[in-house]
């Protein structure tokens, strides 16, 4: 029997939502992951330390009694965010990072930042106290082609912010391009990047060729094959710059399968099987632990997980096509390939 053992993984970018959806999806992540960075794009968003503390309590209440899962909370940066509130919430251990959404970039980002000068005082304070900034790296200008929005963001927004705020630790969230891979690598120890499960598997053909496939639509949208290959090379390299952030983002089927479908792939359920398959295809199973369990804690200055996870190779494993929630069904990411690795704790 072929098997590998690794430290239990963490998810450095996760959407757990709220209410009925939270109750349905939280156990899916807690089954395999020990910690996760929890995205704050609720309606209304998580903008203050008090909001984050209340949301953390709701997440804990949604988890099965016997799970050891720690949500690492984030604040949603707005032009009104108070630097003192950020500093206090970070100092008290309520939040781990702050999330920057350019206004209008993605799901529930209307309260995001339009004028980056307005958030400069918050960013400066974060640099002082060592609170990392997680960045959704896409410009929102309608004149910019949606497939170019990440590369343009790096030049126009991210690089200037990093130059004017030395010492600010930044995570480029869910990078999807060769340019993202290269910029992250060049940034030194204050710059990291998360890569999702699905962007290692799909390119834009999966969404658009042979009919439109709403369950492969997410933001940032999957790009050309050359970019997927750059992401696979980065994730499987062992380079500490890159770590797993699944961006598992559940929406019910009716919301995905409509004239204006929501962005997001739901990967919490089968991520570890998919990743093991991808890393094996790349001849890099020995680098899986770095990507899922070592590089993230190192960037965030947190201890690695002591508990081990065993992955066993055998006949293809199947996962439910959908999970049920009281809001409606949520489709589980279909990697369109047999998955031979299963988690055997």
What minimum distance in Å lies between the beta carbon of 266 and Zn ion? 12
Sign of the alpha-carbon dihedral angle for 254, 258, 262, 267: positive
Sheet containing strand 3-7, strands side by side: 3-7, 308-313, 341-343
CA–CA gap between residue 99 and residue 92 (Å, rounded): 18
Number of residues that bind Zn ion (CB under 5 A): 1
Which residues in 67-86 contact ligand NCD (CB under 6 A)? none
247: left (phi over 0), alpha (psi -120 to 50) or beta: left
What is the rounded CA–CA span in Å between residue 7 and residue 28?
A: 18
According to CB under 6 A, which one of 29, 74, 96, 107 is a site residue for ligand NCD?
107
Among 6, 95, 154, 249, binds ligand NCD (CB under 6 A): 249
264 binds, among ligand NCD, Zn ion, none (CB under 5 to 8 A by kind): ligand NCD
Contact 214, 261 (CB under 8 A): yes
Nearest approach in angstroms of CB 133 to Zn ion is 15
Q: Choose which of 151, 168, 219, 290 interacts with ligand NCD (CB under 6 A).
A: 219
Distance of CA 67 to the CA centre of its chain: 21
Regarding beta strands 341-343 and 308-313, do their DSSP bridges make them parallel or antiparallel, or are they unpaired? antiparallel
CA 291 to chain centre: 13
Which has the closest alpha carbon to 23: 72, 66, 48, 60? 60
Query: Which residue, 41 or 203, has its beta carbon nearer to ligand NCD?
Result: 41
Q: Applying CB under 6 A, which of residues 15, 35, 228, 287 lies at the interface with ligand NCD?
A: 15
In this structure, what token pair is assigned to residue 282? Answer: 């790349």
Q: Should residue 256 be labelled a site residue for ligand NCD when binding is judged by CB under 6 A?
A: no
Q: What is the DSSP string of 154-169?
A: IIIIIHHHHHHSTT--
Binding of Zn ion by 150 (CB under 5 A): no
> Per rule CB under 6 A, is residue 136 in the interface with ligand NCD?
yes
- Give min distance, CB of 191 to Zn ion, in A: 19
CB of 15 to Zn ion, least distance (A): 6
DSSP category for residue 291: I
Active-site choice (10, 11, 51, 247):
247
Given 29, 48, 78, 106, the residue binding ligand NCD (CB under 6 A): 106
Of the candidate residues 247, 277, 280, 289, the single one contacting Zn ion (CB under 5 A): 247
Q: Which is nearer to ligand NCD, 21 or 131 (CB)?
A: 21
Residue 326 bears catalytic tag = no
Among 11, 28, 247, 334, which residue sits at the site for ligand NCD (rule: CB under 6 A)? Answer: 247
Residue 257 near residue 263 (C-beta atoms within 8 A): no
**Chain residues that interact with Zn ion, rule: CB under 5 A:** 247
Return residues touching ligand NCD (CB under 6 A). Answer: 15, 41, 106-107, 136, 218-219, 247, 249, 263-264
**Residues catalogued as catalytic:** 247
């Amino acid at each position: 029997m072929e098997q590998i053992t690794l430290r239990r993984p963490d998810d450095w970018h996760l959407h757990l939502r709220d209410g009925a959806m939270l109750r349905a999806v939280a156990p899916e992540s807690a089954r395999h992951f020990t910690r996760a960075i929890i995205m704050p794009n609720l309606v209304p968003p998580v903008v203050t330390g008090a909001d984050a503390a209340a949301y953390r309590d709701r997440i804990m209440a949604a988890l099965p009694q016997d799970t050891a899962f720690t949500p690492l909370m984030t604040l949603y940066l707005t032009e009104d965010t108070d630097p003192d509130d950020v500093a206090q919430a970070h100092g008290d251990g309520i939040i781990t990072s702050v999330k920057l959404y350019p206004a209008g970039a993605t799901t529930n980002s209307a309260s995001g930042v339009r004028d980056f000068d307005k958030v400069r005082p918050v960013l400066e304070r974060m640099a002082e106290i060592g609170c990392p900034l997680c960045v959704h790296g896409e410009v929102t200008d309608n004149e910019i082609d949606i497939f170019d929005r990440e590369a343009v963001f790096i030049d126009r927004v991210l690089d200037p912010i990093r130059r004017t705020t030395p010492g600010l630790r930044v995570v480029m969230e869910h990078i999807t391009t060769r340019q993202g891979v290269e910029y992250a690598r060049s940034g030194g120890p204050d710059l990291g990047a998360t890569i999702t499960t699905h962007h290692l598997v799909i390119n834009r053909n999966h969404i658009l060729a042979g009919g439109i496939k709403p369950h492969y639509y997410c933001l940032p949208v999957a790009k050309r094959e050359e970019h997927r290959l750059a992401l696979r090379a980065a994730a499987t390299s062992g380079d500490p710059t890159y770590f797993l952030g699944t961006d598992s983002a559940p929406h019910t089927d009716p919301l995905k399968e409509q004239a204006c479908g929501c962005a997001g792939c739901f990967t919490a359920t089968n991520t570890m099987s998919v990743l093991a398959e991808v890393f094996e295809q790349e001849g890099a199973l020995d680098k899986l632990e770095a990507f899922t369990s070592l590089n993230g804690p190192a960037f965030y200055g947190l201890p690695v997980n002591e508990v081990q996870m065993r992955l066993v190779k055998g006949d293809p494993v199947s996962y439910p096509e959908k999970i049920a929630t009281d809001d409606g069904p949520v489709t589980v990411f279909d990697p369109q390939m047999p998955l031979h690795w299963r988690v055997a704790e």
